[in-house]
């Protein structure tokens, strides 16, 4: 079983990611919502990643903050083609079932069902 990217969206911008041009090519940060599901099947779960530049991190966080880098992709300029290619390399993976694949993907992006428990499991 293999995963595939179904859609990539950012709630932080109005246009599509393919058409997006940041005000400053080397200083931006935005949330990516990546829909990933099983290859050639309907349905997907959402994995969130912050795409940002080192300059944005410097300006967004205070000097005394600490940032682990979890669920972040750091780039030096915005290039959708490079981004999509890298996401496809990272997030199109194999596993015995969806739970195994989603667990592996959750190390890259925050999975919408991460730590989910059925009612009564708490």
Residue at 63 is within a domain = yes
Residue at 74 is within a domain = yes
Residue at 117 is within a domain = no
Total tally of structural domains belonging to the chain: 1
Domain of residue 34: give its range. Answer: 3-16+24-111
What pLDDT tens digit does each residue of the chain (122 aa) get?
999 999 999 999 999 999 999 999 999 999 999 999 999 999 999 999 999 999 999 998 888 888 888 999 999 999 999 999 999 999 999 999 999 999 999 999 999 887 655 555 55
Contacts of 75 (CB under 8 A, 6+ apart): 51, 52, 53, 82, 83
Predicted model pTM: 0.87
């Amino acid at each position: 079983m293999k995963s595939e990217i179904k859609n990539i969206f950012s709630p932080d911008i109005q246009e599509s990611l393919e058409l997006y041009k940041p005000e400053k090519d080397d200083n931006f940060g935005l949330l990516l919502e990546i829909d990933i599901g099983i290859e050639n099947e309907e349905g997907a779960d959402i994995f969130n990643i912050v795409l940002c530049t080192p300059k944005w991190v410097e300006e967004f966080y205070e000097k005394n903050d600490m940032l682990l880098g979890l669920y972040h992709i750091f780039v030096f300029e915005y290039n959708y083609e490079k981004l999509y290619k890298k996401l496809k390399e990272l997030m199109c993976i194999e596993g015995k079932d969806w739970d195994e694949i989603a667990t592996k993907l959750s190390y890259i992006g925050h999975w919408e069902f991460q730590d989910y428990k059925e009612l009564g499991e708490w």
